[in-house]
Amino acid sequence: MSINSWGNYPKINNNSIKFNTIDDLKNQLKNHSEIIACGNNRSYGDSALSNNIIQVKPFNKFLDFDQKAGVLHIQAGVLLADIIKYFVPRGWFLKIVPGTKFITIGGAIASDVHGKNHHIDGCFSESTLEFSLMLPDGQIKLCSPSKNQDLFRATCGGMGLTGVILDAKISLRKINSKFISQTTIKTENLEDTFAAFEKYNSEKYNFAWIDCFARGKNLGRSIMTIGDFADDGQLDYIPSQKINIPFFLPNFTINKFTAGMFNKLYYYQTKQQISHQKLDLDAYFFPLDGIDNLNRVWGKSGFLQYQCILPKETAFVGLTELIECISRTKLGSHLSVLKKHGKANENYLSFPLEGYSLALDFKMNNGLFKHLDHLDQILQKYGGRIYLTKDARVSKQVFERGYPNIEKFRELRKKYKMSQKFNSLQSHRLGL
């Protein structure tokens, strides 16, 4: 069978492996090499693609919940959506959520995902108390910030290359509403956008959609949103209904013209400079989850997401140059998201550092890699790096310059003989 990434690029024929028990998984590891764990197949690039793929999603039981401490114990295949559906009506929410709720707990840990509140609460690993990890020889290690710390630091953000995450204990936050009280700020350019991020830095959640087609005095104009949970006692959460895209759209649907028009219309549909409203949590945190099979919009050739981050000291100048390049070449990102991040954690391959990240979606075409190589050059110039969960093409050289702890990760892989068992297309490309 063939399993593709969420971006439908690259494509690979592979062997899909399922397991029912821990002993079954141990036997599967003995019988297969070149193997990688896969959750709900939501990584954009090639980090969860290999000749043999372990399907972890069916391993999805809720094991225990400490109501007093807010600590949830679950198997690695549980989706964030399942946790939200069950616990929001009971007054609890995940401390960290990315832009989709349809990822597994194992995937959230392996990617060390971040959300709209990284500047305050950090990555998913900051809410992960411990997890069980199966090593290449079938041995199971309990990992936490204080126990088997090297395995914890390597696994959080390690893209599944240290072993198979079996279960985890995570800390939830108390809430008193299914709604988010949101404030929207319309900015005129990148300088205005940065000023808004600094002004509202103490707000729990914030992010900005950014118009990467605007140029000149409007370069970097954005629609920024800030917010936090309301306190109205309305906890009768029901997951939002989804519309479905039943087939791949024709390749010509997404182009420079449609992308440019979308960006212009999206910016001008926000009339007021500052406005307030109350949104359902799905609409605030996961707006794109409302469209099933959204990845079909870009056509059968697929798309790439380019997500990079720049240090705070160089972010404004670096992002100005990046956006100018994107605008000038009209690469065609419909949805571009800017976020402010807090300090980096100690995990070897975690993406965020103190600064600003930019995420862009690009339709696959013949000239795309050349354009992205140019963005890489700008990124290196200003000390930035690429997010592995979204990547399918960055070079080994560019990757290594952005991650100073890469040798620690490689040494740990060698120590536990992980490179003889756990590999992906990405790990081979980057020499992980």
**231 near 177, Cβ under 8 Å?**
yes
Domain annotation covers residue 207: yes
- The average pLDDT across 302-328 equals 95
Residue 327 lies in a domain: yes
Residue 357 lies in a domain: yes
Question: Does 270 score more than 90 pLDDT?
Answer: no
Q: Which two tokens stand for residue 26?
A: 């141990």
What confidence score (pLDDT) does residue 259 get? 76
Name the 3-class secondary structure at 319. helix
Rounded to an integer, the average pLDDT of 306-322 is 97
Cα dihedral across residues 96, 363, 330, 386: positive or negative = positive
Cβ distance 155 to 202 under 8 Å? no
pTM to 2 decimals?
Answer: 0.96
Per-residue confidence at 1, pLDDT binned at 50, 70, 90? low
Q: Which residues of 22-55 are buried (b: 16+ CB within 10 A; e: fewer)?
A: eeebbebbeebebbbbbbbbbbbbbbbbbbbbbb
Q: Which two tokens stand for residue 51?
A: 């000749």
In a domain, 365, yes or no: yes
In a domain, 66, yes or no: no
- On whether the CB atoms of residues 295 and 8 are closer than 8 A, the answer is yes
d(CA 150, CA 134): 14
Confidence of residue 109 (pLDDT cuts 50, 70, 90): very high
What whole-number distance in Å separates Cα of residue 6 and Cα of residue 191? 33
Considering the domain boundaries, does residue 358 fall inside one?
Answer: yes
| Closest C-alpha to 109, from 86, 125, 96, 93 | 125
- Convert 372-408 to b/e letters by CB count within 10 Å (16 or more is b): beebbebbeebbbbbbbbbbbbbeeebbebbbebbee
Q: Measuring CA to CA, which residue among 103, 179, 109, 167 is closest to residue 140?
A: 167
Q: Which segment, 320-334, 361-375, 381-395, is predicted with the most confidence on average?
A: 381-395
Residue 13 pLDDT: 87
**Domain count of the chain?**
1
304 lies in which domain range? 179-397
- Angle, CA of 145, 110 and 242, to the nearest 5°: 125
In angstroms, the CA 13 to CA 11 distance is 7
What is the β-pairing status of strands 355-363 and 303-311?
A: antiparallel
Judge whether 318 lies within some domain: yes
Joined together, the tokens standing for residue 308 give 């990079």
Q: Which H or E element spans position 398?
A: helix 396-402
Cα(338)–Cα(356) distance, integer angstroms = 7
Taking the chain, what is the end-to-end CA distance rounded to the nearest angstrom? Answer: 26
Burial class (CB in 10 A: 0-12, 13-18, 19+), 200: middle
pLDDT over 80 (residue 152):
yes
Q: CB burial class (10 A; 0-12, 13-18, 19+) of residue 86? A: middle
pLDDT band at 373 (very low <50, low <70, confident <90, very high): very high
Mean pLDDT of 333-338: 86
**Does 109 fall in a domain?**
no
Using the CB atoms, write b or e for 316-333: b if 16+ within 10 Å: bebbbbbbbbbbeeebbb
* Residue 166 in this model has a pLDDT that exceeds 90: yes
CATH code at 281? 3.40.462.10
